[in-house]
Amino acid sequence: MLNGPLLLTIAVLGGTGKEGKGLAYRWARAGYRVLIGSRSSEKAVTAASEIMQLLEGSSSVVGTTNLNAAQQADIVVVAVPYSAHRDTLESIKTALKGKLLVDVTVPLIPPKVSKVQMPPAGSAAQEAQEIVGADAEVVAAFQNVSYEYLLGEEEVDCDVLVTGTSKKARAEALTLVEATGLTGWDAGPIENSVVVEGLTSVLININKQYGSTHAGIRITNVPKPSAD
Ligand SMILES: NC(=O)c1ccc[n+]([C@@H]2O[C@H](COP(=O)([O-])OP(=O)(O)OC[C@H]3O[C@@H](n4cnc5c(N)ncnc54)[C@H](OP(=O)(O)O)[C@@H]3O)[C@@H](O)[C@H]2O)c1
């Protein structure tokens, strides 16, 4: 099991974007050291300083390239559009040995983003597992959480289903979910990520039909998991 937040570094690849920046903010707020990864270190430095301003300088957020961020981190989060998923992972996979990879990617294929379209591997997370091999544990999480409120203090009305390659990896990811202030659930093996990733297209569909922008999901009738 990994150590407490203050000793851990999380790299957020694509942390300059909507979802990645919101998650990075929440982890920095919880006391993790956060590295914003980007294809452009300049862009990453700007995003990191935006987050530091929101946190009034009280946290450690640094911008750098995706590879440098992955090399320096204990935990690597990938939050890029599906079209960039494979290339991003191929470019950093040598830095993943013994680390936890948290995949936030949804395999949306524009323009039909409200239709479930899974890749041949089964899901984006399973594709990630194929790319990184046995060197890293892979979990899938946050696919159903809209970025909208992540950069604020408002409650995010959505649970997080965590699937992954081992129970230990899922437990580590659940600690990260808790640090964001959301409720996470162990949703089983990585093969189950197809359902969670697919749910995002269902939520996009609901947003379109009912005039919302951030439909979410809740697990009901189960006692809320405790942190311990
Ligand atoms: N937005 C949401 O509400 C939400 C919710 C749940 C899950 N997700 C998933 O999270 C992932 C990121 O979503 P997002 O909305 O944050 O995306 P985004 O803002 O469009 O992009 C995130 C970052 O990915 C990098 N990127 C973009 N195009 C790229 C390309 N062609 N090649 C390499 N890198 C590229 C960019 O970083 P650099 O230019 O700095 O490299 C960008 O800032 C997606 O898979 C999405 O499905 C999003």
Instruction: Name residues whose C-beta falls within 8 Å of residue 220's C-beta, 6 or more positions apart in sequence.
Output: none
pLDDT at position 226: 72
Q: Is 213 in the pocket of ligand 1 (CB under 6 A)?
A: no
The model's pLDDT over 122-166, given as tens digits with 9 standing for 90+, comes to 999 999 999 999 989 999 999 999 999 999 888 899 999 999 999
pLDDT at position 59: 82
pLDDT at position 28: 96
Dist. CA 193–CA 137, nearest whole Å: 14
Mean pLDDT, contiguous 10-residue spans, the chain (228 residues)? 67 98 97 97 97 89 98 98 98 97 97 96 98 96 96 93 98 98 98 98 97 96 79
pLDDT at position 81: 98
Among protein residues, the one whose CA lies closest to atom 48 of ligand 1: 19
Dist. CA 36–CA 79, nearest whole Å: 11
Please say whether the beta carbons of 199 and 180 come within 8 A. no
Which secondary structure element, helix H or strand E, spans residue 185, and what is its range?
strand 184-189
Q: Is 150 in the pocket of ligand 1 (CB under 6 A)?
A: no
Dist. CA 56–CA 20, nearest whole Å: 19
